[in-house]
Every structure is written in structure tokens, then in C-alpha cells.
Amino acid sequence: MKKNYTDQMQRTVEVNSTVLRIVSLVPSQTELLVDLGLRDKLVGITKFCVHPRGLKKEVQLIGGTKNVKVDLVKSLNPDLVIGNKEENNQTDIEELEKSLPTWMSDIFNLEDALEMIREVGSITGTSQKAEEIVSKIRENFSRLKNLKKTNQTVLYLIWKNPYIAVGPNTFIDAMLTTLGFQNAMKEERYPEVEMTGLNPDLIFLSSEPYPFKEKHIEELQNQFPASQVVLVDGEFFSWYGSRLMDAPAYFEELLNQIEAG
């Protein structure tokens, strides 16, 4: 028996009522599937699916998020493929959906993420566990409402040579807003940045996708002596699955670090 679901791109996806074989094309959603108790049903993941540790040794790797090995995915005969509009290439998804039930997320804020978690739980028969995860995320994020709003401006960098920043209309921007920051970028999505003329209070160097390190702090600190340059864990800012349960604790720690200077 099959059942129709509407994904976050408003597409109708027909899925078997019992899902036994899953391919995940997105690291944060792979981690969610494991936390939903579906580790043994994962038959394909990307090379970037680094959590939980050791999973890549157990499950077939199907390429990267942007270069999925479509024929390999098809050969795995999954009941369900789960992807994301932003993280996956449209051409890969269009090819997969011709023959496989391919459910897509499209996430801009916390509510979108919670809806995704619930929907994945519904499709995979793990709704109770999904609700537990959603409740925990809500509970932990509610603590952040008591934080003092800083209104500091932040330049959040995700790439170097050229520098690429995070702008509005992104999940990362929603997390910055939740923490009381103002995004120094006004151009939406992921603009290339001309660093001259900027004067942000803070510069966040994300650990992913570009692996910013301590050495990059000094480099930018010399260029922006009035700004506080901070390395941040990109997973807590951009992973919109079950990792959100632990994000608020990390954010509190980060805010304390910034306040201490």
C-alpha cells in the first residue's frame, strides 16, 4: 500500500506505507534519521554525512550533496530518498524523482525545521520519536528567549578566496536573529563579499563548508581591528535536524565567550 505526502517544495510524493530502505542526500537529515531509530534502514548516504561517527563505514556512499551518483542510488532500490532544495542539485533530484519517491525539505527557519522533523517521522513510522525530538528542541530554544539581545552586527563567513557570507533568507540568518544579532549582510542568500568598507561588530568564521581555523582569525583581525573575530561551529548554525536539540547550549556558550571578549 502507498500513501501520498506533500513535501516542503509542495510536491506530492507517493511512498510505501512501510519504509524499509532509505537514501539520505543531506548530512543533517541523515543524523535525524539515525536519531529516529532508522539506522538499520539507511542504505545510502553522502560522503559528508559525518554524524554519527562510524556510519560512513556501514552504509553505501552515494557521492556528495552536489554530485549524487544517481545510477548508484537507483541500484540501491530505496523506498524513500530524502533531500533538500538548497543542498542538492536540481538536475540530480529531477532524475531521481522519475523513478524513486523523493521527498524534499526546504528550510529557512526553526519552524520549517520542526515541520520537516515531524514529516519525516510520519513518513517513516517514527512519529512518536519525532515529537520527542521536536519537544526537546522547543524546550531548549525557549531558554534563549531570556538572553539579553545584543543587537551587534555579525558578518558570518562560510568561504574564503573569494570570501562568501551568509545573508538574509537563510536558516543561518534565522539562527543569528534568534540570538539577537543583526546580519551585516543585506544581500540575500550567499553573496560574495568585498571586504573593504565593512565594519561589523563581530566576524564569525564557520567551521564549514570552508574549514576556517585559528590562523584565519589573526588574518582578519589585522584587517578589522575593531571587530571581534570568532570561530564558530557551523553545524550548530546550519544543521536543521536533531542536532538542534544541542544547539541552544552551544549558543549560550558562544555568547558567553563573546561577552568575555
pLDDT in tens, 202-257: 999 999 999 999 999 999 999 999 999 999 999 999 999 999 999 999 999 999 99
- Domains of the chain, by residue range, sit at 2-141, 147-260
Give me the pLDDT at residue 153, please. 97
Give the residue carrying C-alpha cell 564557520. 206
pLDDT at 197: 83
Mean of pLDDT values over 32-38: 98
Residue-wise pLDDT for 151-189, tens only, equals: 899 999 999 999 999 999 999 999 999 999 999 999 999
Cα of first residue to Cα of last residue in the chain, in angstroms, is: 59
Whole-angstrom Cα distance, residue 218 to residue 214?
7
The Cβ-side half-sphere exposure at 207, using a 13 Å CA radius, reads 9
pLDDT value at 33 more than 80: yes
Q: Please tell me the predicted confidence (pLDDT) of residue 196.
A: 83
Instruction: Give yes or no for residue 76 having a pLDDT over 90.
Output: yes
**Rounded to 5 degrees, what are φ and ψ at 197?**
90, -5
Decide if 2-141 and 147-260 have a common fold: yes
Question: Could you report the per-residue pLDDT of 109-159, keeping only the tens digit for each?
Answer: 999 999 999 999 999 999 999 999 999 999 999 988 877 667 899 999 999
Mean pLDDT of 47-52: 97
Q: Rounded distance, CA 108 to CA 163, Å?
A: 22
Asked if residue 79 has pLDDT above 80, the reply is yes
> What CATH number matches the domain at 2-141, 1.10.40.50, 3.30.70.141, 3.40.50.2300, 3.40.50.1980?
3.40.50.1980
176-207 burial, b at 16+ Cβ within 10 Å, e below that, comes to: bebbebbbbbeeeebeebeeeebebbbbbbbb
- The more confidently predicted of residues 46 and 198 is 46
Name the residue among 134, 200, 131, 214 with its Cα closest to residue 165: 200
Q: What is the pLDDT of residue 101?
A: 98
Q: How confident is the model at residue 193 (pLDDT cuts 50, 70, 90)?
A: very high
d(CA 154, CA 236): 16
Domain over 147-260 is classified CATH 3.40.50.1980: yes
Tell me, what's the pLDDT at 146?
76
